[in-house]
Chains A and B, each alone.
Chain A
């Protein structure tokens, strides 16, 4: 099946710094990638939809200047948490969409962000 990787798997940073998370589709090209945030013991919240070569579409309530998304190629999307604060600590999961023969998302293993 299609494989999606994320890097890093864990990151700890100081408050005020920026953190970049990479999401790669390893064996297929994904025109669309998604970024989710998962709070402890909660469901996944869609943050944004990332389309290769265009601006990301953010869900209501998600600060686009806070969570910068770049989808530079068909196999790579990055999420940068800018000026991170402790409340940004969370589990971030990406997925990549394979549209043929039908829409299916393949999920990365997630990135645990801890902001001190």
Chain B
């Protein structure tokens, strides 16, 4: 069975500092991996996804994530945090059928 673990339900970083949100997954087959962002009272917006090919994936808003099979990780990073990055971030995995399994989410706080 697939699962996703996001380390840290809350992460705080200073504006301009590096953002690192951790995600580990388990899957019996090569997975599709996703990061979504959710702003209050809104749906989910896809930040980036890994399907095949290059393991470093670049997404919107300056975010990127690297698929590391040996570590079963797909951590999300951004070199310099902006106040507008404050939101809930969800890591998700799919084993290529239609279902997506979400992690519990990480609330990102940006400190001025």
Contact = CB atoms under 8 A, between A and B. Distances in A.
Contact of A110 (B43, B101, B102): B43
Dominant secondary structure at the B interface:
loop
Dominant secondary structure at the A interface:
strand
Contact of B105 (A34, A43, A109): A43
Contacts of B45: 107
A70 B47 CA distance: 30
A108 B43 contact: yes
Contacts, number: 53
Interface stretch (A13-21, A75-83, A96-104): A96-104
B70 to A, nearest CB: 23
Contacts of A108: 43
B49 A49 contact: no
B98 A102 contact: no
A101 B44 CA distance: 21
A73 B101 CA distance: 25
A93 B44 contact: yes
B32 A103 contact: yes
Q: Which of B90, B94, B99, B103 has most chain A Cβ within 10 Å?
A: B99
A104 B32 CA distance: 9
The 3 closest A-B pairs by CB, nearest first: A109-B43, A107-B44, A107-B43
